[in-house]
């Protein structure tokens, strides 16, 4: 005979169905209630494959199938329930993986976009520095005019310490400002902005008697790539050159012609070339323009003029 509930074949003396666990009903006359094996009776349930597939891809549908079919079609209900759980867990795991992939990819994309934007911005700045129009600040292409520009104001060497301090906003340490320099002596003084080294200068005392540094005249200004990268206001030297700018030898020669002297040093990927232009090497009237280039970048620029004429 067959179970009334699930259709599984059971033994004549069984009180419970071995498949679904339902109790075998007994009629008033003592006979068991079973399902006959004619065409209208269930002869053994098979799980519905389509419900299983639906449950796997749509777990909510699987839950509904389980609740509806659990009594009449327990195999279909069970398989649908299992497929729904597996589908839900798999979807959950894939969602977490996809989430991290999207986040990680988004961060990398953002980083790449930022890097590309910064690189483009730097290239534009470098390019503009090479072709910058200095008509407004009257910067000269002749190094022996001894002119330089900072904060939109033009200065010419030699100049006074106070004049340079006023225009640049840089200042030497108080101990240096109050130091005394003997007549016909010169010395190198560092100037700072917000306690950071911004400029190196040379002061010369030719007053005829001892004088403080601040009362001597500035005959040389020198600024390095390090000082600029440390936050110093850039000095624009003759030819529109600034420390930290990329430049080639051809560009230097195009601006100023053949240098008086070229000093080259290289070692293990480090190449330093110093181009010097000078007219007079006498210590009282020496004047020169010096450009140090390290690996294609201006490392330091120096402009010097001790001659008042």
pLDDT tens for 234-292 read 999 999 999 999 999 999 999 999 999 999 999 999 999 999 999 887 877 889 999 99
- Is 298 exposed, middle or buried, given 0-12, 13-18 or 19+ CB atoms closer than 10 A? buried
Contacts of 134 (CB under 8 A, 6+ apart): 149, 236, 240
How many domains does one find in the chain? 1
Domain interval for residue 143? 135-305
154 falls within a domain: yes
Model confidence pLDDT, tens digit, residues 20-51: 777 776 655 555 554 444 333 344 566 677 87
Q: Judge contact between 32 and 72, C-beta under 8 A.
A: no
249 lies in some domain: yes
What would the pLDDT profile of 84-132 be if each residue is shown by its tens digit?
A: 788 888 888 888 888 878 777 666 666 666 666 666 555 544 544 443 4
Q: Is residue 139 part of a domain?
A: yes
Query: Which pTM was predicted?
Result: 0.56
**Residue 97 falls inside a structural domain:** no
* Domain annotation covers residue 69: no
Which residues have a Cβ under 8 Å from the Cβ of 175 and sit 6 or more positions away?
A: none
Q: Per the domain annotation, does 149 fall within a domain?
A: yes
């Amino acid at each position: 005979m067959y179970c009334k509930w699930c259709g599984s074949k059971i033994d004549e003396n069984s009180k419970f169905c071995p498949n679904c666990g339902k109790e075998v009903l007994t009629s008033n006359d003592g006979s068991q209630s079973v399902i006959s094996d004619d065409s209208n009776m269930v002869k053994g349930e098979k799980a519905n494959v389509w419900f299983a597939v639906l449950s796997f891809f749509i777990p909510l549908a699987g839950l509904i199938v389980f609740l509806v079919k659990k009594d009449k079609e327990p195999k279909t209900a069970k398989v649908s329930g299992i497929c729904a759980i597996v589908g839900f867990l798999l979807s959950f795991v894939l969602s977490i993986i996809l989430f991290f992939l999207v986040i990680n990819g988004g961060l990398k994309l953002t980083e790449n976009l930022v890097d590309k934007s910064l690189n483009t911005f730097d290239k534009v700045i470098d390019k503009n520095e090479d072709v910058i129009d200095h008509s407004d600040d009257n910067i000269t292409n002749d190094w022996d005019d001894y002119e330089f520009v900072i904060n939109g104001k033009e200065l010419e060497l030699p100049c006074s310490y106070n004049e340079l301090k006023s225009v640049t906003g840089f200042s030497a340490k108080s101990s240096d400002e109050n130091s005394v320099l003997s007549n016909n002596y010169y010395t190198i003084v560092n100037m700072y902005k917000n306690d950071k080294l911004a400029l190196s200068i040379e002061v010369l005392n030719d007053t005829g008697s001892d004088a403080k540094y601040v009362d001597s005249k500035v005959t040389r200004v020198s600024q390095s790539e390090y000082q600029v990268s440390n936050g110093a206001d850039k000095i624009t030297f003759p030819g529109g050159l600034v420390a930290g700018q990329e430049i080639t030898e051809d560009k230097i020669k195009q601006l100023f012609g053949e240098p008086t002297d070229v000093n080259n040093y290289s070692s293990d990927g480090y190449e330093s070339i110093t181009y010097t232009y000078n007219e007079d090497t006498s210590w009282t009237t020496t004047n020169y323009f010096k450009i140090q280039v390290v690996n294609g970048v201006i490392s330091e620029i120096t402009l010097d003029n001790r001659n008042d004429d």
